[in-house]
Chain A
Amino acid sequence: MYRATIKRRLLPWQLGLLAVVLLLWYVLTETGVLSPFFFGRPLAVATQLVDWFGSASIFAHLGVTLLETLLAFVAGTLLGVGIGLWLGLSPFAAALLDPYIKAVNAMPRVVLAPIFAMWFGLGIWSKVLLGVTLVFFIVFFNVYQGVKDVNPVIVDNARMLGASRRQLLRFVYWPSALSWVFSSLHTAVGMAFVGAVVGEYLGSAKGVGYLILQAEGSFDINAVLAGIVVLTVCALLLDHAVSRVERRLLRWRPGQRESGSY
């Protein structure tokens, strides 16, 4: 409650800050201190947004990008949770795979994009797969850590109360890992978008990334910025949805934990 009050009091200030930045941008580009060719114009960006949404021309592109993002997000999360639980509970497999997991994680996975494009063509699947590789590792490492981090006293207690291995998984390991899953999902949402947009940059015929690439090709900085605004708002909405589910599922937690950053 206390937190909510502070949040509400801060809101006008936060909006004010946004207004100041926009105004500064407007004044600097209108007076020519910053070149509108490189920095765009706030009003032109707004006009571009109104145009896209007014003519509904954005929706075909946005739909593709969102579909890629959601598929990558869901598939990467499921894989990450599944394999994270498995390796967290079987130390031998974890020790065996450890160097490979570290290697694949250290590899800048965006470089896989051309390979995926060769394998799956220019459709949505090459983007989904790129997103999956990005999302998977974030979720996987968090679940793995979460399972290994379970308080051993709680495990012993559940065992003494008669829990079987499966019941331990369901009643102890899974709920304990869940709070880690959610803190990773906030980061994962952003990564799913990265996968989709970067994939689109590298070769596509549709999507917001494609739109941004087209605008860049014709030096239309305002359309590039408008595309970024659209992506940011979508990522925020998805993150908000994750937060809502999180609050429902993690009611037992004393306070909201800080979420990961992008």
Chain B
Amino acid sequence: MAAVELRGITVSFAGPGGGHTAIRDVDLAVAPGEFLCVVGPTGCGKSTLLNVVAGLVTPSAGEVRIAGAPLSGLNGAAGYLFQADALMPWANARDNVAAGLVFRGAARDDARRRADEWLTRVGLDGCGDRYPHQLSGGMKKRVALAQTLVCDPKILLMDEPFSALDVQTRSLMENELLSLWSADRKSVIFITHDLEEAIALGDRVVVMSAGPGSRPLGSHTIDLPRPRDVTEARLTPRFVELQRELWHSLRAEVLKSQRAPGAD
């Protein structure tokens, strides 16, 4: 049974001039433990797709099934790593990480202890007392990652989480994400506009068509061996081959989205 299954999902937003349809007729399934990357041109409704799985957006049509059961309301099985900075600026790193546990009824002391463990696991040992504005962009992403993973979600939703980081920090974070993921193999939906990142991380890459009314065009299995090092994987001939293959299917869509100025 698929961990996440989307059947005929359409999302339309009301707006001036009749509104617009962000995604149309999307069918998508994520197997348990699968690392799925979704790539597409800017404005193709990738984030909308993720919000549907998270339960933050209710689809206009179609059905979302989580481990076989239809989703209504927020998806309690999912952890969401947002593209924008989502840490609470008034809480220090430890309390930010502990937040999810406290919300779910854990005792404060217990939650803080486990938060400290997770801060160590993401390489932020001893930074628990710092406030978000005292952390660098990469460190904030680590805190956000710990904040999501401490709740042990079965499904991990990631919306271009590393897009704001510099190249080096980004590779580091990607490798850490892979090693954290390989420890307990959650199902992951990882959104990105960066084809290389998608190939380096994923088991499978889905290419979305240009918006509006975007949908998945094709699914490509990434057969690079695991465990992977994202920097080294990029240098293998198979990686280059895959990249060429996917770029062909993406390029037409990028050109299409440039011709349609209405798209986001």
A positions within 8 Å CB-CB of B = 151, 153-154, 156-164, 167, 171-172, 175-176, 178, 250-254
Contacts and interface: CB of A to CB of B under 8 A. Distances in A.
A161 B99 contact: yes
Interface stretch (B77-85, B190-198, B245-253): B77-85
List of 6 A-B pairs having minimum Cβ-Cβ separation, nearest first: A157-B86, A161-B100, A162-B103, A175-B90, A254-B133, A160-B80
Contact of A161 (B56, B85, B151): B151
A29 B12 CA distance: 76
B88 interface: yes
A162 to B, nearest CB: 4
B54 interface: yes
Contact of B99 (A171, A250, A251, A254): A171
Contact of A252 (B99, B133, B148): B133
B133 A153 contact: no
B133 A158 contact: no
A252 B82 contact: no
B88 A175 contact: yes
A85 to B, nearest CB: 16
Interface string B73-115: 0101011101011111111100000011011100000000000
B99 A158 contact: yes
Contacts of A157: 80, 82, 86-87
Contacts, number: 67
B58 interface: no
Nearest to A162: B103
A14 to B, nearest CB: 30
B89 A153 contact: no
Contact of B90 (A158, A167, A176): A176
B209 interface: no
Contacts of B82: 153, 156-157
Interface string B19-30: 000000000000
Nearest to B89: A252
B239 interface: no
Main secondary structure of the interface of B (DSSP, over half): loop
Contacts of B131: 251-252
Contacts of B151: 161-162
B94 to A, nearest CB: 13
A181 B200 CA distance: 47
Given A252-B90, A252-B92, A156 B80 contact: yes
Contacts of B84: 153
A13 B54 CA distance: 59
A184 B134 CA distance: 26
A159 B73 CA distance: 11
Contacts of B91: 171, 175, 252
Contacts of A159: 56, 74
Contact of B74 (A151, A154, A160): A160
23 contacts: A153-B82, A153-B84, A154-B87, A157-B80, A157-B82, A158-B99, A158-B103, A159-B74, A160-B78, A160-B80, A161-B99, A161-B148, A162-B104, A162-B151, A163-B103, A172-B88, A176-B90, A178-B90, A250-B90, A251-B131, A252-B91, A252-B132, A252-B133
Contacts of A154: 86-88
Contacts of B100: 161-162
Nearest to B151: A161
B142 to A, nearest CB: 15
B103 A156 contact: no
A160 B79 contact: yes
B147 interface: yes
Interface in B29-70: 54, 56
Contacts of B132: 252
Nearest to B88: A154
B78 A171 contact: no
Given A161-B151, A252-B133, A153 B92 contact: no
Contacts of B99: 158, 161, 163, 171
Residue among A153, A154, A160, A163 with the highest chain B CB neighbour number at 10 A = A160
Contacts of A252: 89-92, 131-133
Contacts of B90: 175-176, 178, 250, 252
A15 B56 CA distance: 58
